Amino acid sequence: MLVAKTITFRIRRFDPETDSAPHWDSYAVNVFEGMTVLEALHQIKAEQEPSLAWRSSCRMGVCGSCGMFVNQFPQLACQTQVLHLEADIVSVEPLPNYPNVKDLVPDLQPLVEKHAEVKPYIIHPDLKEMREPSGEFLQTPAEREAFSQFTYCIKCGVCLAACPTAATDPAFLGPQALTQAYRYSADNRDSGVHSRRDSVGAFHGAYQCHMAGACSHACPKGVDPALAIQLLKRALVLDNFGFGKKESQSAKVAPLADVVKELEEFAPPPRTAE
- Choose between 36 and 179: whose C-beta lies nearer to ligand SF4: 179
Provide the minimum distance between the beta carbon of 65 and ligand FES in the complex, in angstroms, as a whole number: 5
Contact code string over 200-229 relative to ligand SF4, x by CB under 6 A: -------------------x-x-x-x----
Q: What does 61 bind: ligand SF4, ligand FES, none (CB cut-off 5 to 8 Å by kind)?
A: ligand FES
Q: Is 65 in the site for ligand FES (CB under 6 A)?
A: yes
Q: How far apart are CA 211 and CA 61, in angstroms?
A: 26
The answer to whether 163 contacts ligand SF4 (rule: CB under 6 A) is no
Out of 9, 40, 64, 218, which residue is the one contacting ligand FES (CB under 6 A)?
Answer: 64
Among 31, 35, 68, 78, binds ligand FES (CB under 6 A): 78
C-alpha distances out from residue 156 to 66, 128, 145, 199, Å: 8, 34, 23, 21
> Could you tell me where the beta strands, DSSP code E, fall in 45-181?
67-70, 73-76, 89-93, 100-102, 105-106
* Distance in Å, CB of 101 to ligand FES, minimum: 17
Least Å distance, CB 205 to ligand SF4, is 17
Q: Which of 29, 86, 32, 36 is nearest to 61 (CA)?
A: 36
Binding residue for ligand FES, selected from 4, 53, 62, 202, defined by CB under 6 A:
62
156 is a contact residue toward ligand SF4 (CB under 6 A): yes
Backbone angles phi, psi at 2, to 5 degrees: -80, 125
With CB under 6 A as the contact rule, the residue among 56, 149, 151, 188 that binds ligand FES is 56
Which residue(s) pair with 93 in the sheet?
A: 69
Burial of 244 (0-12, 13-18, 19+ CB in 10 A): middle
With 0-12 / 13-18 / 19 or more C-beta atoms within 10 angstroms meaning exposed / middle / buried, residue 80 is buried
Residue 176 interacts, among ligand FES, ligand SF4, none and using kind-specific CB cut-offs from 5 to 8 Å, with ligand SF4
* 63 touching ligand FES, by CB under 6 A: yes
Give whichever of 11 and 200 is closer to ligand FES, judged by the CB atom.
11
Separation CA 151–CA 183 (nearest Å): 7
Q: Alpha-carbon distance 107 to 172, whole Å?
A: 16
Residues in touch with ligand FES (CB under 6 A):
56-59, 61-66, 76, 78
